Amino acid sequence: MSQNILITGPSLAPAAADVLTRAGYVPVYVPPYTNGEGLIEVVRMADPVGILARMGRIDETVFAAAPRLRVISKHGAGVDNIDVEAATARGIPVLNAAGANAVSVAEQAMALLFAVAKRIIPLDRGIREGRWEKPGFQGRELAGSVMGLVAFGAISRQTARFAKGLGISVRAHDPFSPTEAFAAEGVERVEDLDELFASCDIISLHCPLTPATKNMVNAQRLSRMKPGAIIINTARGGLIDEPALAEALASGRISGAGLDTFAQEPPPAEHPFWTEPRLVLSPHIGGVTKAANIRVGVEAAQGIVDMLEGRPVPEARIVNRAELKISV
């Protein structure tokens, strides 16, 4: 019987696919964002021993259709599209590839920041529509600003390096990151999240989506921010109360926002963001670069192979290690 690895997406970097095939496993690909009964039928037919999770949700209905499933590995860092609790109940380890896409996502965070602060999109549109908007224009210099990072993992630390190189000072909030990590990057640690929001010119989100962080950017925190503040989100859309952000932008409460991720992806056609000129949007592609795809894909695939073949996997990559009492 073949040893299939289900890829919940239409492709995988060739180097990552090679990791699977060289070890004797067969990649089985799924059309993008396949869900419901369509996904379950593919799962039943593939009967996978492992799942490499890219697009769509992996939950108990998937696990029930895959009796031989032994490991799930996320193509990236965030595992909010995987029901980790249900996987744990079945004794299935869930891995991630945290940090492998850090440079690419941090670059996207900075690109969104510049696009918002420098008003690149509306200025470009104005020129194309025949307007020369230099008279009366007042730009914004980012050097000398203060950036606040929410969480301080690999992507956040790389963002801090880029920001500091541009003359932006950096503060961060992360109750789980060791003190020495802040010191090593020359970043000020802020214990109180509300104080971070109130004191910074730029807030960049880098934390996972959990029940505790859902809608952490809400009307109350938005009301505490500086009038010229900018929010950047390359993490998870559910971190932001989107109607509250739309209202804060429309009222001029904050200056702008750059978003690479949304609570619902793709967002619905009637979403209030579409009419907001202070927003710059991209379709959750911060980590979708050739270099990052190779690193993330290889790490995710190697994790599956190592776990299936009984080789050690770094404990930081096993999301439910403590619950499963896995020793490394």
Catalytic site includes residue 236: yes
Q: Quote the CA–CA distance of 190 and 212 in Å, as a whole number.
A: 18
Which of 252, 245, 250, 258 lies closest to 226 in space, CA to CA?
A: 252
Backbone angles phi, psi at 264, to 5 degrees: -120, 130
60, 85, 265, 315: the catalytic one is 265
The CA angle 64-69-75, to the nearest 5 degrees, is: 105
Catalytic site includes residue 265: yes
Q: Is 318 helix (H, G, I), strand (E, B) or coil?
A: strand
Catalytic site includes residue 60: no
The CA angle 323-325-328, to the nearest 5 degrees, is: 125
Q: Is 53 helix (H, G, I), strand (E, B) or coil?
A: strand
Cα-Cα-Cα-Cα torsion 266, 272, 276, 281, nearest 10 degrees, comes to -10
Q: Quote the CA–CA distance of 87 and 92 in Å, as a whole number.
A: 5
**Residue 64 exposure: Cα atoms within 13 Å on the Cβ side:** 6
| CB of 227 closer than 8 Å to CB of 200 | no
| CB of 265 closer than 8 Å to CB of 288 | no
54, 75, 284, 295: the catalytic one is 284
What are the structure tokens assigned to 184, written together? 């090593």
| CB of 303 closer than 8 Å to CB of 79 | no
Helix segments in 186-281, DSSP class H: 193-199, 219-224, 242-250
Q: Quote the CA–CA distance of 21 and 71 in Å, as a whole number.
A: 17
Looking at residue 38, its amino acid is G
Q: Quote the CA–CA distance of 323 and 182 in Å, as a whole number.
A: 28
119, 157, 171, 236: the catalytic one is 236
- Catalytic residue list: 236, 265, 284
